[in-house]
């Protein structure tokens, strides 16, 4: 199964930045993604918790981007959207005690995952939401 939390969170943030003068809500965003509003609300909740999005309750409530797009790195969005889980992980198959390869795979793959995460976060820390906004073309 492909994990879309990060890509959808980036699109939510771009949408909020692009429409920064408007209040948005999860219902409207879910129509853009053609997905369940509950999925969008969960992602938005993580973005609010990370202080990337402000949430306003009430009849005229909704969500808005919390900071300038030039202050929000893709690493910020990645960390918020992955909920402290990595997008790549080792399988959880039982270890075969008589097999040295099987017994070593958890440590081997933990090192690989750590490397992927470090590289990913380093790359994403150099990319900003404002960079992505510049790529939006009016249709």
Q: What are phi and psi of 42, to 5 degrees?
A: -65, -45
Q: What are phi and psi of 64, to 5 degrees?
A: -140, 155
What pTM, to 2 d.p., does this model score? 0.85
| pLDDT tens for the 139 residues of the chain, in order | 578 889 999 999 999 999 988 889 888 888 888 888 899 999 999 999 999 999 998 888 899 999 999 999 999 999 999 876 776 777 778 888 899 998 888 888 888 888 988 999 999 999 999 999 999 876 5
Residues whose CB falls within 8 Å of the CB of residue 103, separated by 6 or more in sequence, listed in order: 95, 96, 97
| Domains and their CATH numbers in the chain | 5-86+128-133 (1.10.10.10)
Integer Cα distance of 100 and 108 in angstroms: 12
Reported as type and span, the H/E element at residue 67 is none
Residue 97, helix vs strand vs coil: coil
Of the candidates 110, 51, 116, the residue with the CA atom closest to the CA atom of residue 77: 51
**pLDDT in the model for residue 89:** 72
Region label for 51, one of left (φ > 0), alpha (ψ between -120 and 50) or beta (otherwise) = left
Tell me if 29 sits within 8 A of 40, measured CB to CB. yes
């Amino acid at each position: 199964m492909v994990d879309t939390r990060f890509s959808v969170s980036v699109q939510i943030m771009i949408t909020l930045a692009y429409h920064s003068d408007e209040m948005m809500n999860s219902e409207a965003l879910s129509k853009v993604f053609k997905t369940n509003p509950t999925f969008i609300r969960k992602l938005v909740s993580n973005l609010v918790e990370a202080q990337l999005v402000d949430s306003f309750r009430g009849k005229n409530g909704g969500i808005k981007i919390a900071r300038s797009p030039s202050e929000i790195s893709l690493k910020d969005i990645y960390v918020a959207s992955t909920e402290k889980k990595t997008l790549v992980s080792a399988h959880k198959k039982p270890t075969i005690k008589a097999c040295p390869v099987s017994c070593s795979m958890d440590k081997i793959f933990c090192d690989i995952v750590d490397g992927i995460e470090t590289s990913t976060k380093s790359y994403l820390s150099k990319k900003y939401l404002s960079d992505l906004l510049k790529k939006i073309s009016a249709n």
